[in-house]
A and B are shown apart, each in its own frame.
Chain A
Amino acid sequence: MKNRNTIFTFFISFFFCLGINISHAQTPSDAIMMNQRESCLAVIYEHSWFDEYWEGTYLRTNGTIETVKRDMVMPMIAIGVFDQLNLLVAAPYVKTESTEPNGGYFAGAKGFQDLSLALKGQIINKQLNIGTLSLLATVGFSTPMTNYLSDYRPYSIGFGANEFSFRGIAQYKMEKGFYVRGALAYLHRGQTEAERDYYYNNGSYYTAWMDVPSAWNYNAVAGVWLLNNSLKLEANYLGIKSTSGDDVRPYNAAQPTNKVSFDQVGISAQYYLNKPQGIGALAYFSHTINGRNTGKASMFGVGLTYQLKI
């Protein structure tokens, strides 16, 4: 009975930002760097929904919230500070609500969610046999931009806490255009402030502050470049595993202290126009196949990217 985790928002936010120069894709978890003074602007729209959710590990429905929908529009920018150091910034706007008619008649929520900043550095990029091995690292920080209420599941637009992410990325790309990539990240999450000063988390808490569990984030990708390097196709896996937290209690609302885990698989496509130069388009679809204390969400996204010199 909760939203898809916001870290995924953060994560996906940079996932497809590419310029015409295909060596310069840009995301915190991919292997590609922008050159100094290059910049990539992108806008992504994503729609996700779920009508089943995991209460602990028990998958259930809830007729009173029925299908929970979520729409997101995310402007973002990636900047090549140096050839081997890129800055990434995103500021998503999120809107949630249940489909009509929903028995609970809850108001949804909307607003700007978290401002995220990430620095990505390339550590190794070298020829190895028939391909290129890249190792990269990212540090990221995200913080709520507005005082949206995190303690309003499943409609809250985010978890309402600061997050520091530390990510390592390895990619091996063959000359023929096939590549595989893996990324592992630790997401350190802080506390969120509710508007009530008592809650139950396997015991009483007499405070408005809640610990948002930190999490591990796993990512695996297999992809290929086609059509003379103008079309990229990917299959991907994303895993999130909270390191602590409580389970959603029977037929009770979720709360930010919950132990959230999920596995998602997806596909994506990106296409880069020859003319006008610098424009790209993307589309993706993902589905949650397993989870704990989270919605069994499906989502699709579309976006436009534009790369320019600054």
Chain B
Amino acid sequence: MKYKSIIQPFLVGIVFCSMFVFSCEKDLPTQAKYTDYLFSSIDENGGNWKPVLLDSSSQIVIPVPADITSSDYLDELASLKSEASNLSGEQQGAIDYWTNNPILRWNEIALELVAKYNLIPGPNEDGTYTLPNPANPDGPPSFPFSHPPYAVRALAYLGVAQFDGLITAWHYKYTYNRPSPSQTDMTIPAAYVDNGIPSYPSDGAVIAASSRDILSAMFPLEKDYLAERAAEQMSSLKWSGLNVDSDIEAGEIIGKEIAKIALARASSDGMSKAQCPKPVSDSIKAAAFDRFGWQWDNIEVPPRPVGLTPLFSKVKMWCVPNVEVVRPPVPPAPGSAEYEEDIKLLKHYADNMKDEWRAIANFWQDGLGTYTPPGHWNRFCKEYSIKYKLNPLRTARVFAYLNMAMMDGGISCWDAKYYYHYPRPINQIEGFKTIAGTPNFPSYTSGHSVFSAAGAEVMTYMFPEEGSLFRDYALEAAISRVYGGIHWSFDATVGTTQGINVANYTLDVAKSDGAD
């Protein structure tokens, strides 16, 4: 009797709930959604562009390709045909995933590894800290700790190797002009839209080999994983009907060779000494105190004995002649009117935190465990390369200059950080609390501001229609750190100028590389 009155609302409730449950869940994308596309240009003269590391686009030598009427080539074509005509679902999936611009996928892989390894080592039981050690990458802590300087450097070498490798590929492509398999044999189905770019050597193989080798050096524990990814990508070149074996082999020669050259630079660029020992760190701090009368100190519990990469400033720059030419002016001294104004401003933000400020602070935080601020700009680069349908060579160019500018920006920023050794707001303001984590390095200037301004300038040059958007992003990223409570406003504004100054050097090089 009464049960009826219970059961009905129950059923209604369950139906109502189920409707909610099954209608509100959002799709959670793990990668960019794009397919193969027609490139907005094919850059036949790309082989004449000026590479970054190579003397010329013919420095790396590959064999002269067999003629398309030769039996060797015809055998290759037959092998390709049999493989491409019998695809499993998995193979088709690989074709769809890698597309005809696999640089974008490799950048995603790089960002994923950055996020995976962007973990700061915690203290040991006895209060000491152990640093990641490339000689014992398993750790603990595992190597690397891909903090922003580490990440931007990895991305710069990746971009530069891909770029120089593709300039080389373009040189030979338009030297030998070997048509693509589907053009030499009409019965071969091409999985991707035909851009009419000659197939020897395979640009896809250059990308696979160079990306694999650079990233394996930067993330040694991922060597096997990266080898698998590269093998799949190279196979997909055949499955898609894009390249025969000799195209791929020649591309791989270039990719391996340019990676070797890039990694030789990396091994002697000074990064291995950036995380200096405590006595050196202490002397840097003491020098700043002598010079300016202030110093930054780590306030974690237990305190970290050395800040993050005090000697990143000594790492070899890409386009800036020396780090001093872009060093910003002395920050306002504690006690000065400008400094007191900033104290008020920071307290104002903290005491009146608005949803909008909090959202900006969080959106641009890109902190531990994420792809870092340089990674955020690489993501934009990927998205706009897709939007503007760049070919792989153009895509590599944007990534290369973007990451060189941001790496130089990072070097310059770290120079300012440890030259001035300026304290963080939390060191100076009694009882101050932040909504963002205070990083383990001095305040002035803000890394986010320098990275973002440098990145925005390069992106604006490469995608002029989007310039105001990128520059607004950079300003928002800069102020986000002030909203977060971990930077002074002059860290952000001066850092923005610093980033622009650095990028101007990068753009001077870009403007004369022959691409525009």
Contacts of A108 in B (CB 8 A): 433
User: What is the bound-complex CA distance between A210 and B362, given in angstroms?
Assistant: 15
Contact B369 A200 (CB under 8 A): yes
Question: For residue A250, which residues in chain B have a CB less than 8 angstroms away from its CB?
Answer: 119, 121-122, 140-141
A207 CA to B379 CA, complexed, in Å: 12
Q: Is B435 an interface residue (CB 8 A)?
A: yes
Complex contacts, B31 vs chain A, CB 8 Å? 204, 206
CA A123 – CA B300 in complex, angstroms?
56
* Also in contact, A106 and B302, with CB within 8 A (given A84-B2, A198-B371): no
Q: A194 within 8 Å of B by Cβ?
A: yes
Are the C-beta atoms of B299 and A190 separated by less than 8 Å? no
Does A139 lie within 8 Å of B14, measured CB to CB? yes
Number of interface residues of B (CB under 8 A): 61
- Docked complex Cα distance between A103 and B363 (Å): 24
Q: Kindly state whether residue A83 has any CB partner on chain B within 8 Å.
A: yes
Tell me the nearest residue of chain A to B432, going by C-beta: A105
Whether A191 lies near B24 (C-beta < 8 A) is yes
Q: Are B362 and A64 in contact (CB under 8 A)?
A: no
Give residues 93-139 of A contacting B (CB, 8 Å): 102-108, 119, 121-123, 137, 139
Q: How far is the CB of A158 from chain B (nearest CB, A)?
A: 16
Q: Closest chain B residue to A193 by CB distance? A: B26
CA distance A84 to B432 in the complex (A): 53
Does A199 reach chain B (CB closer than 8 Å)? Answer: yes
Report if B10 contacts A (CB, 8 A). Answer: yes
Neighbouring A residues of B27 by C-beta, 8 Å: 207
Residues of A within 8 A of B78 (CB): none
Of the candidates A105, A137, A152, A191, the one whose C-beta lies within 8 Å of that of B25 is: A191
- Of the listed stretches B84-92, B109-117, B278-286, name the one at the interface; the rest are far from the partner chain: B109-117
**A175 proximal to B (CB < 8 A):** no
CA gap between A84 and B10 in the complex, in Å: 12
Contact B123 A162 (CB under 8 A): no
Between A and B, how many residue pairs show CB distances below 8 Å? 149
Measured CB to CB, the closest approach of chain B to A58, in angstroms, equals: 11
Q: Are A251 and B122 in contact, with the CB atoms below 8 A?
A: yes
CA distance A200 to B122 in the complex (A): 19
Q: Please tell me if the beta carbons of B111 and A85 are within 8 angstroms of each other in the complex.
A: no
B119 touches A249 (CB 8 A): yes
Interface check B355, CB cutoff 8 A: yes
CB-CB under 8 A for A119 and B9, given A203-B30, A252-B368, A253-B369: yes
Question: Are B299 and A105 neighbours in the complex by a CB distance under 8 Å?
Answer: yes
Q: Give the Cβ gap from B117 to chain A, nearest Cβ, in Å.
A: 10
Interface status of A151 (Cβ within 8 A of chain B): yes
CB-based contact A106/B435 at 8 Å: yes
Q: A274 within 8 Å of B by Cβ?
A: no
**B362 and A188: CB pair below 8 A?**
no
Q: Is the CB of B369 within 8 A of A198?
A: no
What is the interface size of chain A, counting residues whose CB is below 8 A from a CB of the partner? 54
- The main secondary structure of chain A at its interface with chain B is loop
Residues of the B chain whose Cβ atoms lie less than 8 Å from the Cβ of A107: 350, 353, 433-435, 485
How far, in angstroms, from A121 to B7 measured CA to CA in the complex? 8
The digit string for A193-221, where 1 denotes a CB below 8 A from any CB of B, is: 01111111001111101110000000000
Q: Is A53 at the interface (CB under 8 A from chain B)? A: no
* Residues of B close to A63: CB separation below 8 A: 123, 300-302
Contact indicator per residue, chain A 135-158, by CB within 8 Å of chain B (1) or not (0):
001010100000101011000000
Contact B379 A200 (CB under 8 A): no
* Nearest CB in chain A: distance from B138 CB, A: 13
Mark interface residues in B107-133 (1 if CB within 8 Å of A CB, else 0).
Answer: 010011001100111110000000000
Q: How far is the CA of A66 from the CA of B355 in the complex (A)?
A: 27
Given contacts A104-B437, A198-B370, A252-B368, contact A149 B28 (CB under 8 A): no
B135 within 8 A of A: no
Contact with A along B3-18 (1 / 0, CB 8 A): 1011101100110010
**Contact of A164 with B by CB under 8 A:** yes
User: Could you give, for residues 134-146 of chain B, a 1 whenever the CB lies within 8 Å of some chain A CB and a 0 otherwise?
Assistant: 0000001100000
- Residues A205 and B30 in contact, CB atoms below 8 Å apart: yes
Given contacts A84-B6, A107-B350, contact A190 B21 (CB under 8 A): yes
Task: Give B residues with C-beta under 8 Å from A.
Answer: 2-3, 5-7, 9-10, 13-14, 17, 20-21, 24-32, 108, 111-112, 115-116, 119-123, 140-141, 299-302, 350, 353, 355, 358-359, 362-363, 365-366, 368-371, 375-376, 379, 426, 432-435, 437-438, 485
Starting from the known contacts A121-B7, A139-B10, 9 additional A-B residue pairs (CB-CB under 8 Å) come to: A105-B433, A107-B350, A107-B353, A164-B20, A196-B363, A196-B370, A204-B371, A206-B32, A252-B368
Closest 7 pairs between A and B when the two form their complex, measured CB to CB: A63-B301, A251-B122, A195-B362, A103-B301, A107-B433, A200-B115, A121-B6
23 pairs from A and B in contact (CB 8 Å cutoff): A63-B300, A63-B302, A64-B300, A82-B2, A82-B5, A84-B6, A103-B301, A104-B437, A106-B433, A107-B435, A107-B485, A190-B21, A195-B362, A196-B365, A198-B366, A200-B369, A204-B108, A204-B371, A206-B29, A206-B379, A207-B28, A249-B369, A251-B122
